[in-house]
Structure 1
């Protein structure tokens, strides 16, 4: 005699495994309001938010409507600030929601119109943060005050779990190096430096990094502004660990 297995017959453990392969928008689209049991399971799973350039505004609004009740479950966010039909998604999500348990964050591109004030304030309070990355090749879309505040925030972050900081936008670190130091738990650091006569040298950066005894992996990208030899050439420099012991 043939037996049929229905979705409702699956154990909670199998649902946990299924949801671990899906990001938040997919989960809410397929399973939200399905039944009381599924709704109960959705209240207890970690969530991964992905916002990419292929998404549209009505999808993000749908996601946001569910995050009203689930933002505390979000442990990772990987997003583009620009989607198919709108911009400033980072402002939209961080103005609407408080991601108190965020552990992993990655932002690709920052739109010129985006205000980062609330985003930076919230990142400061993420005491479970493990990894933080911003990749913004077009530096002109970020203002200098936001760049400075992000550097200060991440270098002096209070999360004891923070291990990785990647800031892929050029910045004149000479403005702040005398006033800050790197949190001692960071093991991976990636910076992009504007290499011009008025800016700080790589050796000065390293003198600060030597204060951090746990750093094992360092990446430095130098944006060379020597108009005689190269015009805006990106020169990658690989640097070995500064502390092997």
Structure 2
């Protein structure tokens, strides 16, 4: 059968087109076009992805989104809002409740802390909320309450929490360690994109024993030494990424032993700490063989800052240290490059 009109195309064809469009674009193009498209828009087979960026928002777009929230809430798959703090009233205008039965992903960047605190308890009734990304900027200094509310969400698998500028040390996480009889979180992927001390990290992941992937900033100081923190085994952890601003190599070794995972396959470690021991190939080899037997991929970056009046530790190790059988068999290579005022040593698979 030949196709001579858009009306001849199948519903499945239009659903495939809708996959590439934002919900607002779908509404603008097809809403009230005719009865057939009206039925398509209201069909449970169509899932809406709401994406609102502060550079694109306008009155027409907002009205379209409000119509979707009002009439199609059981079809909304994701709500991703990148808006300024001055426009946080937009979040307040979108009432999210248990009728959003298909909602799987939320992004609020940024969001006022008070608004977030009032919103998170309402999300506990969402049956399929698997992904949450939030950014409270520099507006909140103690993040403990936010984490407690996040851990109460029963279906989460992925969480990314950004809370400050990367060079801001004045952030704490006042969170007690999870009690043995306390319900633990279902989170498997956790990105802690804010300063975090050893003891704070320990308390956070005590709620997330099912973690598979963990990424965090080690930026803030703690009155608690890593040596006195009790060991914790993360049985499912296969990926670990650390941006290190504080740990020496000695502390890093203790850290890995404290937060042990026998299944760790990928380690990414970026440091600006001027500890030349980080470039000791023999020490890395011994450490990995003893503590990370399943490691398959190793990504390492050591940033050494230098200028005329500043002395930085330099690597003068033997060149053949990083071409021993250990490194060759794993196909891990050491590289060095100059980038502005930094000498960057990196190890990566090749």
Structure scoring higher RCO (CA < 8 A, sep ≥ 6) equals 1
Q: How does 1:1-245 map to 2 (within 5 A)?
A: 5-44=4-43, 45-58=46-59, 59-82=61-84, 86-94=87-95, 99-110=100-111, 115-136=115-136, 138-140=137-139, 142=140, 147-159=143-155, 162-169=156-163, 171-173=171-173, 175-178=174-177, 183-194=184-195, 201-206=197-202, 209=205, 212-224=208-220, 236-237=243-244, 242-245=260-263
TM-score by length of 2: 0.54
Q: Secondary structure at the match of 1:8?
A: helix
- RMSD after superposition: 3.4
5+ long unaligned stretches in structure 1 = 196-200, 227-234
TM-score by length of 1: 0.74
Matched with 1:198 is none
Q: Which has the larger radius of gyration?
A: 2
How many angstroms apart in 2 are the aligned matches of 1:117 and 1:212? Answer: 20
Matched with 1:231 is none
**Count of aligned positions:** 221
Q: Secondary structure at the match of 1:139?
A: coil
How many angstroms apart in 1 are the aligned matches of 2:199 and 2:145? Answer: 23
Q: Secondary structure at the match of 2:163?
A: strand
5+ long unaligned stretches in structure 2 = 165-170, 223-241, 245-251, 264-350
How many angstroms apart in 2 are the aligned matches of 1:209 and 1:127? Answer: 23
Give CA deviations for 1:170-222 in whole Å, capped at 9, x if unaligned.
5522x222357784532111224545xxxxx3245236525644212111124
Do 1:107 and 1:135's aligned partners in 2 also have CA atoms closer than 8 Å? yes
Given the superposition, is the C-alpha separation of residues 56 and 42 from structure 1 closer, same or farther in structure 2, using an over 3 Å criterion? same
Matched with 2:294 is none
Q: Secondary structure at the match of 2:80?
A: strand
